[in-house]
Each structure stands twice: as C-alpha cells, then as structure tokens.
C-alpha cells in the first residue's frame, strides 16, 4: 500500500516516481488505471511481479500494491544497484522519452535526495 513517508513530508523514491508518472494525478491516468505507479513496461519482469496483461506497452497489475512491489523490486534490483539517483533516473526515464533533467530535479525535491546520492536502500519501499 502506498503511504506517505513519515520523514516530514518527504516522499519515498517510489512515491516520487509514481508522482512523476501521474499515478496520483487522476484515476484516469494510464498509471492509475493500470495499477502501475511506475509505468513499467509489460514483459517477463512485470509478469514475475504479478502483471496480468498489457495495455499495448505498459503492464497492468491487479492492484496498486502489486504495482508498487514491482516498482520497488526494479529499483532494488542488480540493474540499479550502486547507481546514483541521477544515473538511476536517466536509466529509468531516458531523455529519448522524458525531460530527464526535470525528472531528476523533481525526484530530488520530493525525496530530499541529491543527484549524486546512491539510491537509498532503506526508503524505497512504501
């Protein structure tokens, strides 16, 4: 279940990504409809974490908790291990599809992390 971090009003990394992906904006957004707060693409990884189908590109999860588990699993996977926040976001939200500089800026503003900080291991999970 996604809950606001108890550290003042800071978001966890997963909550900040979900915010950038439009998950909290409206029930009409793709992320909200698909119970996919990170807009993870459908494939073997998403299926491993409970995706039940695809909307053509992005995974559909049975509920929000499953979508957050998949996002958290991705962020704590070997593919992201040892990356800085900036490196991780550049990989997660590449400039070919996103305003990556703004994405990094907003993630840092909402979480209190800095671009050169290593991905946190203790506050990713919601």
- What's the pLDDT at 5? 41
Bridge partners (DSSP) listed for residue 117 = none
- The answer to whether residue 92 scores a pLDDT higher than 70 is yes
Could you give the CA distance from residue 42 to residue 58 in angstroms, rounded to a whole number?
5
Could you give the CA distance from residue 42 to residue 61 in angstroms, rounded to a whole number?
10
Q: Please name the residue that has the structure tokens 């990713």.
A: 124
- The answer to whether residue 26 scores a pLDDT higher than 60 is yes
Residues in Cβ contact with 111 at an 8 Å cutoff, skipping those fewer than 6 apart? 10, 11, 12, 13, 16, 85, 123
- The answer to whether residue 40 scores a pLDDT higher than 50 is yes
- What's the pLDDT at 34? 98
Burial class for 3, CB neighbours closer than 10 Å (0-12, 13-18, 19+):
exposed
E-strand ranges in the chain read: 53-54, 59-60
**What are the structure tokens assigned to 17, written together?**
């990504």
- What's the pLDDT at 2? 43
- The answer to whether residue 85 scores a pLDDT higher than 90 is yes
Which of the residue ranges 7-16, 23-32, 43-52 would you say has the lowest mean pLDDT?
7-16
Could you give the CA distance from residue 126 to residue 123 in angstroms, rounded to a whole number?
8
Mean pLDDT throughout 103-121? 95
- What's the pLDDT at 123? 59
- What's the pLDDT at 120? 80
pLDDT single digits (tens) 52-82: 999 999 999 999 999 999 999 999 999 999 9
């Amino acid at each position: 279940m996604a809950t606001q971090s108890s550290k003042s009003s800071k978001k966890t990394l997963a909550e900040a990504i979900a915010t950038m992906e439009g998950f909290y904006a409206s029930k009409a957004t793709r992320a909200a409809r698909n119970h996919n707060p990170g807009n993870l693409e459908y494939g073997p990884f998403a299926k491993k974490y409970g995706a039940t189908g695809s909307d053509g590109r992005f995974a559909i999860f049975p509920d929000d908790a499953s979508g957050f588990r998949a996002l958290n699993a991705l962020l704590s996977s070997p593919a992201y291990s040892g990356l800085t926040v900036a490196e991780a976001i550049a990989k997660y939200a590449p400039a070919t599809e996103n305003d990556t500089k703004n994405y990094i800026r907003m993630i840092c503003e909402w979480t209190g992390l800095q671009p050169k900080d290593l991905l946190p291991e203790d506050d990713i999970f919601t």
